[in-house]
Chain A
């Protein structure tokens, strides 16, 4: 069935259109006014202390050594004074130097990796503020990282202490992401240990 009735033009009153046009503009103006009259809702407050962030971009675990690749992404330079691993102060070396410029990088090495279940790092800088990072996997309750001294039977020690399945898949994948890791993954897989990461 068809009809020949002409289409009825829709009625859109000018006032209604104007309201729909002005509402968002007025809302935006209100937000701007609020921002201005509340002095930026606190954005103008200068922080009491600089926000310091040190990114751990890469961690390489070697037998007897941990190597941290650091980047300073905070607004000003950071100087590393001492390091704390699992509540102990350990010697370290850092290159090119202790002071990392803004957006600069440095490589920090511990000459020995302590045998602990938890991986915790604290880095105290000259401002006397300690920074802490935890193994993210540990925080999720999914795993932790370990490295034993050369000569230790890694798989046996790991299983004895943790009672966990020894797998290398996850970390072998990690190891394969780097050139030296490829070698490690192929030749030294028994030394690549870690609790199964399920998350």
Chain B
């Protein structure tokens, strides 16, 4: 299994996919940091310099939405094998298909966590410099890191696992991307706004619970009642493994022609 994961890491880093995804995620993160600093404070009428605990947490976790890129990373790292027909070689090397899917999942989890770390470091540098330049306190920001980082890293890893799971079922790359983005950007929000109690059960709700950050999917980030961190983590992991199990089952019976 170690060999499979090391091979997968070489596979991943020798394509443009992770670097392009990480770059886009970082650019969006930078824009979000700008938004935080440019937002006008309704009380004073001037620009906001984050200083409360929640504001500083929001600044440190400004890259949180980047979990969508961890998700895409997971989807792409498995569907690219079918798109470029490299699956033939992959299955010759690793003929037991659940091992192939499992290796991808572990690698994706590590890469997803890595993406979270990169985004946190970038935020600390970019957001920290801006904060200091605007007269804020960097040490106060750094103080919020332990509250934000573990949850964010965990959530990125969980989304990457889910991505591999979905990709193992929907091996058509375009279809898989449309389905995951359609679900996470549009359908899930509609579902939760119609049936508020569904929030804790949908993947994003489970991931938010796992992150242990008080954010929700409702208006203004309010929550309709989430699971606790452990429940959320297990539920999210469960979704990933469920898809992977279905995907492995299908792949084992699938003809690679």
Partners in one complex: no
Residues of B within 8 A of A (CB): none
